[in-house]
Structure 1
Amino acid sequence: MRKFTHSRWLLLGLLPLTTLAQAQTTDLNSAALPETNTWGSTPYALQITPYAWITGLSGESSPFKRAPSLDIEKSFSDVLHNLRAAAFLNTWARRDRYVLNSDLLYVNTRESEVVGGLPLVGAAQGTVDTRLFMATLQGGYRVYDSEQASLDALAGFSYWDIRTRAHLSTAGRTKHHEESFSWVDPMIGLRAFYRFTPELSTHAQIHLGGFDVGSRLSYQATLTLNYDLSEHFSLAAGYKVLDVNYRRAGHVFDTRMSGPVLGLSWRY
């Protein structure tokens, strides 16, 4: 395999920053906890989190069926240089002991390079546009709940869609080639929450999926430290890892992304 010299994907991500893990009785700081709200007669909570993930990209990729696999090794600054657009959103909801989690990730990058000295045509301008979209939806049940801690069991799926378009311009002519591939991974996971003080808490989450249904295997893990700014807002900082190994129909997306995470949550 030859060395991959262009950035394909940038993931700035983050994690669900939740403070939904308190009992429905008097707690450390009931005014700051979403469980004090009610949905009918049932306690409920809602949290919306835009997030950022300071990560690079490493692994192996073959976005075109007949193209060789390319080794990828890119730092955060490398992939940030080629970013055109990005959007990330996590939503977390709970009603009594039933929970729902969704996560949306969209990244669009463009990379350009001029190649000189080609036979007959001289210099050529080449660009590669890549779009990565991932949506995860999980439902679950709170298996443990106390004033300070909670544990949720989760199950659902992740949908991946990757589109790549190459452009080559030379001698006044432009050629295009575009391919896309997508898959669905079943997912299972656990989410744990622990409150140290009325303002300070920690959150850990791990998911495992693929099982050769879509990808061969995928997993992600996050760990954050959270600080409540007010009744409705909190900050989080931590670390996240996302690894996926997809190899089907001539397409390869075997990558690992890891790095610090930062986020701001609004809760009700």
Structure 2
Amino acid sequence: MRTFLAIAAMAAGMAAPAHAQATEGWSGQVTPYIWGAGFSGEVRPVAGGPVFEVKESVFEVLDDLEGAFFLTGLARRGDLVIVGDISWSSSSRTESPGQGLPPVKGSVDSLFATVVAGRRIQAQSDQTIDFLAGVRVWDIDATADVQGLPLSASRSVSLIDPVIAVRFNRQHTNGFSTIAYGDIGGFGVGADFSAQAAVTVNYAINEQAYVSGGYRYVHLDYEKRGARIDIRFSGPLLGFTWRFD
């Protein structure tokens, strides 16, 4: 139970393909996607408390999942690029602590969003590099309720981190492209350190529609008043992109 609540305290994915040619007006794209992430790490829920090692596969995570929403998007005008990503999930689990004690239900709602903007450089005719900076927001609400008794506890964590990022896009033949994205953030402003990375292979169905498959990694290291979360999420992703001018 404590493992689940601690993990859930972490509530990704700049995986949308980008068109390589510059345009005078605004262009954009949106990508809903699914992310099958397992996790591992260490959590100390309160100051002076024990450190819990946490680890669950994607299948164990899916057992607890009640709902999730993942969306990323990109807007561009000339060499100005704006990239955003939002991830939301809601999970719960009921466990019995044993020794005749009533079961406890833990619930977690997590919202994670990143917005970065910067300049695109045309490295080669088929390659672009985006240098970006922005913010990442974490909003996590966790509750624990003792079944059959009027006992409950809750905790909320909200963080805003500065972020710097690089995004690389390369066009291949036959409608394929590759994207690599990486960022780091926190720097002690919100989290002590946070990072994410994603690599995708994309295929153009036509000029407006793409499908993407790849892998994503997210790391959060946060410590305040003796409580600590140091956790890593990683797993495959699959998305569908709609591009518009």
Question: TM-score, normalization: structure 2?
Answer: 0.90
Alignment-derived partner of residue 30 in structure 1: none
Q: Which of 66, 77, 87 is the aligned partner of 1:84?
A: 66
Matching of residues 47-66 of structure 1 within 5 Å = 47-63=29-45
Q: Which of 74, 98, 109 is the aligned partner of 2:80?
A: 98
**Structure 1 unaligned spans of 5+:** 25-34, 36-41
Alignment-derived partner of residue 178 in structure 1: 154
Q: Which of 117, 133, 136 is the aligned partner of 2:99?
A: 117
Find out whether 1:75 has 2:41 as its counterpart.
no
- Paired residue type of 1:227: Y
Percent sequence identity is 31
Helix, strand or coil at the partner of 1:124: coil
Alignment-derived partner of residue 238 in structure 2: 262
Alignment-derived partner of residue 18 in structure 2: 19
Structure 1 156/13 Cα, relative in aligned 2: closer, same or farther at 3 Å? closer
Question: TM-score, normalization: structure 1?
Answer: 0.83
- Paired residue type of 1:150: T
Matching of residues 33-48 of structure 1 within 5 Å = 35=23, 42-48=24-30
**Structure 2 unaligned spans of 5+:** none
Structure 1 66/162 Cα, relative in aligned 2: closer, same or farther at 3 Å? farther
Matching of residues 141-180 of structure 1 within 5 Å = 141-144=119-122, 146-169=124-147, 172-180=148-156
RMSD over aligned CA atoms reads 2.4
For each residue in 1:203-233, what CA deviation from the matched residue of structure 2 results, as whole angstroms up to 9, or x when unmatched? 1111011112211111111111110011211
Helix, strand or coil at the partner of 2:86: strand
Larger radius of gyration: 1
- Count, aligned residues: 244
Structure with the greater relative contact order (CA < 8 A, sep ≥ 6): 1 or 2?
2
Helix, strand or coil at the partner of 1:80: helix
CA deviation after TM superposition for structure 1 residue 61, in Å: 2.4
CA deviation after TM superposition for structure 1 residue 8, in Å: 3.7
Helix, strand or coil at the partner of 1:213: coil
Q: Which of 228, 236, 249 is the aligned partner of 2:225?
A: 249
